[in-house]
Amino acid sequence: MIVERLYSFCRFGNQSVSRHQANVNVSSQSVSRRQVWDWLMSKPHWLLSVMLVWLMGSSATIGLNVVTVTDDFASIARVVGGEHVTVKSLVSGSHNLHAIYPRPSMVVAVKRADLIIRIGMDQDSWIDSLIQVAKNKRVLVGTPGQLDCSDGIHALDVPTSHHGGRLGDVHKEGNPHYWLDPRDGQRIAQQIRDRLTELDPDNGSQYQANCDQFCQQLSDDYRRWAAQLAALKSVQWVTYHTVWSYFFEAFGLTNAGQLEPYPGISPTTRHISALTTRLKSNPRPTRVIIANFYPYSVAESFAKSVNTTAVQLPTNVGDDGVTTYRGLFDTIIRKLSL
Ligand SMILES: [Zn+2]
């Protein structure tokens, strides 16, 4: 059906086809489906996205349209929502969430959303501009269509002064990487359950059952992961950025410091020197971990200077072969245990 609509559209817009494919004899009678497809594939990605949505119009989707910022939240929303939701993530895989630049395809997703699930804590303020551009009143701040999951989280690293703002600290509202504590994964699921139930009360009992099952599985996983990491409690862990604060707290691991002097500020010679001195004065073993999107060479060089190794880790679903929220922890902990 979509192909038919594309075909009809191209017949209607054959002047545009001719203009962009001068070597093809295109007329309203002669244009073929293959030519339509080739022409569409030659367009910039954003134009294709907008066109496809326009052509599909109000084509039916399954249940509520849920849009999340990352694949982690999308994974949880799919489990809780089950067959009653269609979930799309705006950002796929591990990325520096402090440097996301909105794309036109994101506007399309936001325009169709019944529910937007945000990380919050000033990490995804760019979504506000997307909502304005999309003119989707269903997902404005304060409506049931917008859920900020940080509202249900005990935030770490909340600044006690605003020194960071002047220095470029990217955690002015506290540390936003809370999905890396599986207990917060349960809290995220429960918030999603409540919001889906508010938007779709007829299926509330299903959301409840899905959430209960997911939280029970995470509880079982948490005990297993904690046992796997118990042997690493003597390590003083160094990271590039404070991505791992919630992970460390969840499993009782020691956060010995970051290569960044402040979140988002590149390492300085003075800071690295002081950190090195502090680590070497402690007899406990040191290990360095770094998220996949930060410069591994910096972590590797520092690790060598303190006679240890550095390991790269995914921080989000969609990276490193990780397809589910629970799988993310399996991968992280397996790599830490090597
Ligand atoms: Zn951060």
2-56 pLDDT, tens per residue? 333 333 333 333 333 333 333 333 333 333 444 434 544 454 555 555 554 444 4
Domains defined for the chain, CATH in brackets: 2-56 (no CATH), 64-220 (3.40.50.1980), 225-336 (3.40.50.1980)
- Name which residue leads in pLDDT, 134 or 40: 134
d(CA 242, ligand 1 centre) in Å: 6
* Percentage, residues of the chain above pLDDT 70: 80
Does residue 118 register a pLDDT over 90?
Answer: yes
> DSSP secondary structure string, 201-247?
GGGHHHHHHHHHHHHHHHHHHHHHHHHHHGGGTT-EEEESSGGGHHH
Mean pLDDT (whole number) for 309-315: 96
pLDDT score recorded for residue 162: 57
Which pLDDT score is estimated for 7? 38
274 C-alpha to center of ligand 1: Å?
22
Q: How does pLDDT run across 163-173, given as a tens digit for each residue?
A: 545 566 788 88
Query: pLDDT tier at 60 (50, 70, 90 boundaries)?
Result: low
Confidence category of residue 152, pLDDT binned at 50, 70, 90: confident
Q: Decide the pairing of beta strands 254-258 and 286-291.
A: unpaired
pLDDT of 61 > 60? The answer is yes
Distance, CA 62 to ligand 1 centroid (Å)?
A: 34
Do residues 225 and 231 make contact, with C-beta atoms less than 8 angstroms apart?
A: no
Instruction: Return d(Cα 88, Cα 108) in angstroms, integer.
Output: 11
Q: What are phi and psi of 277, to 5 degrees?
A: -60, -45
Q: Can you name the residues that pair with 245 across neighbouring β-strands?
A: none
Give residue 181's pLDDT: 98
Mean pLDDT, to the nearest integer, of 201-210? 98
CA of residue 123 to ligand 1 center, whole Å = 8
Token representation of residue 19 = 């203009």
The more confident residue out of 248 and 36 is 248
